[in-house]
A and B are shown apart, each in its own frame.
Chain A
Amino acid sequence: MRAQAQPGGRAASAPILGHEIEPTIFEMSVAGRSAYQLRTTNVPATPLAQLVPSAHLNDDVIALAEVSERDLVAHFTRLSHRQFSVDLGAYPLGSCTMKYNPKFCDAIAADPGLNSVHPGAPAELIQGWLELLVTLEEKLCLITGMSAATLQPAAGAAGELTGLLLMRAFHTANGDARTRVLIPDSAHGTNPASVTLGGYEVTTIPSNDRGLVDLEALKAALGPDVAGIMLTNPNTVGLFEEDITEIASAVHEAGGLLYYDGANLNAILGAVRPGDMGFDIVHMNLHKTFATPHGGGGPGAGPVAVSSRLADFLPGPKATRNEQGSFEWRTPARSIGRVHGWHGNAMVLARALAYIDVHGGDGLTRVAQYAVLNANWLKERLRATLPAAYDRVCMHECVLTATNLKSKYGIRGLDVAKALLEEGFHSPTVYFPLIVDEALMFEPTETESLQTLEALAQAIERIAERAVTDPESLHHAPQSTPVSRVDEARAARHLISTEDAAAR
Chain B
Amino acid sequence: MADYLPHTKEDLDEMLEFLGMDSLEQLFAHIPAAVRLTQGLDLEPGMSEPDVAEVFARYTSANGAQASHLTCFAGAGAYDHEVPAVVKMLSSRSEFVTAYTPYQPEVAQGVLQAIFEYQTLVSRLSGLPIANASLYDAATALVEALNMASGATGREKMVISAGVHPHWREVVRTFAQGTGHEIVEVPLKDGVTDWASVDASGAAAIVAAYPNYLGVMEDMSAAKQLSLDNDALLVLGADPVAAGVLKTAGQWGADVFVGEGQPFGTPLAFGGPYLGLFACTIEQIRRLPGRIVGETVDSNDRRAFVTTLRAREQDIRREKATSNVCTNQTLMAVTAAIQLGWLGTYGLREVATRCAQGAHFLFDEALKIEGVTAVSSQPFFREFALRLPKNASEVLRQMAGDGVLGGLALSALAGDGDRSIEGSLENVVLVTVTERRTREQIDRYVDVLRRAVR
Contact = CB atoms under 8 A, between A and B. Distances in A.
A150 to B, nearest CB: 11
Nearest to A369: B24
A347 B219 CA distance: 37
B277 interface: no
Size band of the B side of the interface? 35 or more
Interface stretch (A123-131, A250-258, A400-408, A465-473): A123-131
Contacts of B343: 35-36, 64
B393 A122 contact: yes
A75 to B, nearest CB: 7
Interface stretch (B125-133, B184-192, B200-208, B225-233): B125-133
Contacts of B243: 62
A194 B324 contact: yes
A178 B308 CA distance: 36
Interface string A32-56: 0111111111111110100111011
Contacts of B108: 83-84, 296
Contacts of B180: 199
B295 A121 contact: no
Contacts of A118: 65, 72, 74, 78, 80, 268, 270, 405
B77 to A, nearest CB: 6
Given A354-B56, A481-B106, A496-B296, 12 more contacts: A35-B347, A62-B125, A100-B4, A121-B74, A128-B63, A196-B321, A201-B319, A298-B136, A298-B273, A348-B272, A358-B52, A487-B297
B8 to A, nearest CB: 8
Given A118-B78, A483-B105, A358 B3 contact: yes
B255 interface: no
A154 B272 contact: yes
B29 to A, nearest CB: 8
B329 A298 contact: yes
Interface in B122-152: 123-125, 129-131, 133-134, 136-140, 147
Interface string A333-345: 0001111111111
A168 interface: yes
A157 interface: yes
B222 interface: no
Interface stretch (B164-172, B420-428, B445-453): B164-172
A64 B121 contact: yes
Interface stretch (A20-28, A214-222, A303-311): A20-28
A339 B412 CA distance: 17
B212 interface: no
B101 A337 contact: no
A101 interface: yes
B153 interface: no
A337 B65 contact: no
Contact of A124 (B244, B302, B397): B397
Nearest to B332: A299
A106 interface: yes
A52 B379 contact: yes
Given A354-B52, A362-B40, A363-B1, A500 B129 contact: yes
Interface in B397-442: 397, 400, 405, 408-409, 412-413, 435-440, 442
B65 A495 contact: no
Given A38-B435, A142-B41, A128 B2 contact: no
B308 A363 contact: no
26 contacts: A2-B11, A52-B245, A53-B217, A65-B345, A79-B114, A120-B78, A122-B393, A122-B412, A128-B58, A131-B62, A143-B41, A155-B328, A169-B177, A192-B314, A195-B319, A299-B327, A337-B173, A341-B138, A357-B46, A373-B15, A482-B109, A483-B105, A486-B296, A490-B296, A491-B296, A492-B310
